[in-house]
Chains A and B, each alone.
Chain A
């Protein structure tokens, strides 16, 4: 696993502008994809992406600078849920503009970066052999299907209509 822990360079934190710049780049690409794929108005989508980027920025900042050992994902989730909570003064505004960004537009851009990034593991992947690939595929399938079947049984038992 060379890449999991390689390098020992120190982090020089003049970086918040780099976060902002990266999020701006990501937002622009997402808004363009969102416009081509779903024809949502560009201004509304830009405001939606601005809200999501702000949440992300706040989350990653809090993870690194608040004295708690909590992941940014938790901060972002909690803030997002509170802002959109029905009854909050922000709820209508946030829900309206964020709904202009299709989840799939975000996912499509996100997975393009994933695709380029994962190519790096290709050589290690090739070295692992068919047997490990079989086990991995079965593990992923069983984790997904296990959760789906349990969820279905509980939903049916608690009488949730389809």
Chain B
């Protein structure tokens, strides 16, 4: 989820518009056709990915790993930027790709919304599960002890209160200040999640589908983790695993993502952050290690 409104607690809080302004700055000032080579590169990546198609690797009886075109495009895209085999994908193009991506999230959301609209009565029937699974995201706090054992201090509060996407970054920065250890923690999760989150979650979902005997709707609902790109990567293998249930899975995934977006942020503010602090105060004296972070507050 790359755009969000943060509740107005602080009148000078400007954070809520950072993402919108970033997008506008990058794509409104510049005629996108000037970067036609970026878009042609994307077209070529997509054609290659769709031509290869889905690959299924059986690893055991009844267990198989599905690798989908969406994995090829994301990895090829990253490689095209990092290895620079073509000289016109530079930092500037990466910024434009990122700005454009924030507009294209809308198309993804629109498609999911149409599926939700078609299945609206089913969504009302599954209301309790859809709403309660939002509380399942609190499971991130279980990682707090591990973060402490790894030597993080207050950073761990920023790291484990939520999945650490843009809205969560905004909430943590708003509460603790830009140069606080908590904010450093959430920034670290944000950056690492940006680079490996999408790829990681698609493999995580593939494995979960093979090994966990959960309800198909549960997988669909869980894919709404509160990040559009991770949501997209999580839906892929889920759709492939339950053929014939496309509309329902899209409806639940889309609606759950919408819930993560509207309700999730309040769960973070009113439940997850206070709870993370409580658990931190409880555990830090017992299992806290010597801080691995350099002692400086101004970065």
Q: Are A36 and B97 in contact (CB under 8 A)?
A: no
Instruction: List, in ascending order, chain A residues with CB within 8 A of B262's CB.
Output: 74
A22 touching B32 in the complex, CB below 8 Å, given contacts A142-B139, A155-B126:
yes
Cβ of B67 < 8 Å from any Cβ of A? no
A54: nearest chain-B partner, CB-CB:
B110
- Expressed in whole angstroms, the Cα–Cα distance for A155 and B256 within the complex equals 14
Q: Which residue of A lies closest to B192 (CB)?
A: A136
107-155 of chain A: CB within 8 A of chain B: 107-122, 124-125, 128, 131-152, 154-155
Asked whether A25 and B109 contact (CB < 8 A) given A151-B221, A158-B129, the answer is no
- CB contacts (< 8 Å) of B275 on chain A: these are none
Q: Which residues of A contact B75 (CB under 8 A)?
A: 115
- Flag if A121 contacts B195 (CB, 8 Å): yes
Q: Give A95's nearest chain B residue, CB to CB.
A: B118
A135-B225 in contact (CB<8A):
no
Q: How far is the CA of A115 from the CA of B222 in the complex (A)?
A: 23
Q: Residues 20-42 of chain A: 1 if any B CB is under 8 Å from the residue's CB, otherwise 0?
A: 01110111111011001100000
Q: Is the CB of A76 within 8 A of B45?
A: no
Residues of chain B within 8 A (CB-CB) of A120 are: 81, 91, 94-95, 98
B198 contacts which of A29, A80, A111 (Cβ < 8 Å)?
A111
Instruction: List B contacts of A113 (CB < 8 A).
Output: 42, 77, 97-98, 100-101, 104
Q: Are B116 and A148 in contact (CB under 8 A)?
A: no
Interface centre among B117, B143, B212 (most CB of A within 10 A): B117
Cross-chain contact A146 with B136 (CB below 8 angstroms): yes
Interface members, chain B 73-117 (any A CB < 8 Å) = 73-78, 80-82, 89, 91, 93-95, 97-98, 100-101, 103-117
Instruction: Count residues of chain B with CB under 8 A from any CB of chain A.
Output: 144
Complex: A53 Cα to B109 Cα, angstroms: 11
Beyond A74-B262, A98-B111, A135-B147, whether A110 also contacts B133 by CB under 8 A is no
Indicate if B277 sits at the interface (CB-CB under 8 A). no
22 A-B residue pairs with Cβ-Cβ distance under 8 Å, sorted by A, are A1-B187, A7-B25, A27-B107, A74-B258, A77-B254, A84-B116, A86-B118, A91-B118, A98-B114, A110-B105, A115-B76, A117-B77, A117-B94, A117-B101, A118-B98, A122-B195, A135-B146, A135-B160, A140-B193, A146-B136, A148-B133, A149-B218
The 9 A-B residue pairs with the shortest CB-CB distance, nearest first, are: A115-B77, A80-B113, A146-B139, A119-B81, A15-B28, A84-B117, A56-B106, A117-B98, A150-B136
Write the residues of chain B forming the contact surface with A, with a CB cutoff of 8 angstroms: 1, 3-5, 8, 16, 18, 20-22, 24-25, 27-33, 38-39, 41-43, 45-47, 49-51, 53, 68-70, 73-78, 80-82, 89, 91, 93-95, 97-98, 100-101, 103-118, 120-121, 126, 128-130, 132-140, 142-143, 146-147, 150-152, 156, 159-160, 162-164, 169, 187-198, 200-201, 204-205, 208, 212, 214-219, 221-226, 229-230, 232-236, 239, 246-247, 250, 254, 256, 258, 261-262, 292
